[in-house]
Structure 1
Amino acid sequence: MLDVNAIDTYRGPAHILNGVSLRVDKEEVVCLVGRNGAGKTTTIESIMGFLPVRAGQILFDDEDVTRLPPHERAKRGIGYSPEDCGVFPDLSVSENLMISRWLGDEVAKRRNGGQRVDPEAQTFSLFPEVQNLLQRQGLHLSGGQRKMVAIARAMMLSPSLLLLDEAFEGLAPVVVNRFTEAVMKIKAMGVSILMAESNLGAATRIGDRLYAIDRGEIIFHGSPREALADEKVMKALRG
């Protein structure tokens, strides 16, 4: 589904990613773990096209998307929920969702001639709470509600790959459990997921495979059990 091959990415003059490679297979949850500043968000933003890569290649569904702008990657079925949620504060929740609902029609045309599962029904089955927020402005949402809306908006695209950047950050444990259930439901819908996550415990509960990143380089790839037993990974996450 996704192949990231030896990418280098800069933020201004700073060389952040150095030869990062990872893959996500169909109907798989892959977690990219690392402490703050390790390169997780830069990796996600490189895949989505917000940051240009200086070297390497990004393949999505066997297509080279390395030089495509973000909206073209979205049209190919890559959904994105950013770390800061990216909810438009002056728009209602309904209007925020409609942006991806409209773009999802383009995804469906490319994929199967326009036919698609009802995105509203699919999305609200994940987060029924969002239906009660449709007329509320983004400005007036709590942190947990913004994260719900950000994921719901990405799912309105009917993506085949979902990028989640720190979806659990700042959430109470009971809310983390709620989001974990939603991620597993998304996987059951046949959507592949790449999650950037600082919390190793949360990542090991839901990830089929894990990559650990430190100082812009992948230092580990394996199963959640192997990650927990790897002293190098644990030391990197502790900083």
Structure 2
Amino acid sequence: MIVLEVKAIHTYRGPAHILNGVSLRVDRQEVVCLVGRNGAGKTTTIESIMGFLALQAGQIVFADEDLTRLAPHERAKRGIGYSPEDCGVFPELSVDDNLMISRWLGDEVSRRRDGAVRPDPQTQAFAVFPEVRDLLQRQGMQLSGGQRKMVAIARAMMLSPSLLLLDEAFEGLAPVVVNRFTEAVMKIKAMGVSILMAESHLAAASRIADRLYVIDRGEIIFRGSPSDARGDERVMKALRG
């Protein structure tokens, strides 16, 4: 079952034509990685899906609904969680308050799911990152880079999403911390959440992806398995720069 389908989207940042006909899909309970160098168009793709950037052409379909013209908060209400590259943690709010923002939206997500019983969002978030429980009273400005990423993902999980968008979740993390985040992604998948993750490094993406897409200069140049990507000279050349 297809959860998310991105159909030939074109997106601009100012006068610059960044995405040129990008298409991809994410299936139910699948981890898909969008891999590319910095500046290849990964963040623009994620922000286009979330609605922060308007499409000049193409379509975004989520759970058989056309979201192309919906505002970002309306997409979130449909059950799309989002953890941005810069984490987006409000620095003057406590971690607890940061989490509550998504919990309130999650009530709307639950209502849209035909009255389905909603798992306790806090239990889900802490199951992914138990470390966040000890950070609840800290302000966002008091967190380390890794802690901010944990809070950003936990906040997205408070929405009770069926699709989670992760933008460079591993960026800037020490190898031992990357292992911790890899475990967290697999836990989220086991909860039945589909994941689309932007990632700069093929090796990191290969550890978690069921399928991956490689983007270069705003165009998808490869789609398939991680092992096939590693054997594709065009892919390796694009990622090496």
TM-score, scaled to structure 2: 0.98
The Cα of 1:153 is off from its aligned counterpart by 0.3
DSSP-derived class of the 2:113 partner: helix
The answer (yes or no) to whether the contact 1:105–1:114 under 8 Å persists in 2 is no
| Corresponding residue number in structure 1 for 2:74 | 72
The answer for the alignment partner of 1:117 in structure 2 is 119
Out of 205, 227, 233, the residue aligned to residue 229 of structure 2 is 227
**Matched pairs, number:** 239
Mapped contact 1:38–1:216 kept (Cα < 8 A): yes
Partner of 2:87: 85
Q: Say if 2:201 is the partner of 1:199.
A: yes
SS of the equivalent of 1:178 reads: helix
Partner Cα distance (1:128, 1:187) in 2: 17
Match of 1:152 in 2: 154
Which of 177, 181, 186 is 1:175 aligned to? 177
- Could you tell me how far apart the structure 1 residues matched to 2:223 and 2:18 are? 19
Q: Which runs of 5+ in 2 are unaligned?
A: none
Mapping of residues 129-148 of structure 1, within 5 Å: 129-148=131-150
1:4 is matched with: 6
Give % identity: 82
1:32-43 equivalences in 2 (<5 Å) = 32-43=34-45
Report the Cα offset of residue 115 of structure 1.
2.5
Deviations 1:11-70 (A, max 9, x none): 001000000000000000000000000000000000000000000000000000001000
For residues 191 and 70 of structure 2, what CA distance do their matches in structure 1 show? 27
Could you say what the CA RMSD is over the residues aligned between the two structures, in angstroms?
A: 0.6
**How far apart, CA to CA, are the structure 2 residues paired with 1:104 and 1:208?**
27
Q: Write the distance in 2 (CA, Å) between the matches of 1:161 and 1:180.
A: 17
> Match for 2:218 among 208, 216, 219?
216
Decide whether the 8 Å contact of 1:100 with 1:153 is kept in 2.
yes
CA–CA distance in structure 2, aligned partners of residues 192 and 75 of structure 1? 16
SS for the counterpart of 2:138 is: coil
Unaligned runs of 5+ in 1: none
Matched, 1:104 2:106: yes
How far apart in 2 are the matches of 1:199 and 1:102? 34
In structure 1, the residue corresponding to 2:28 is in which secondary structure? coil
- 8 Å Cα contact 1:8-1:53 kept in structure 2: yes
1:157 deviates by: 0.1
The CA distance in 2 between the partners of 1:199 and 1:159, in whole Å, is: 26
CA distance in 1, matches of 2:220, 2:57: 16
The list of structure 1 runs, each at least 4 consecutive aligned residues, that deviate by more than 3 angstroms after superposition, is: none
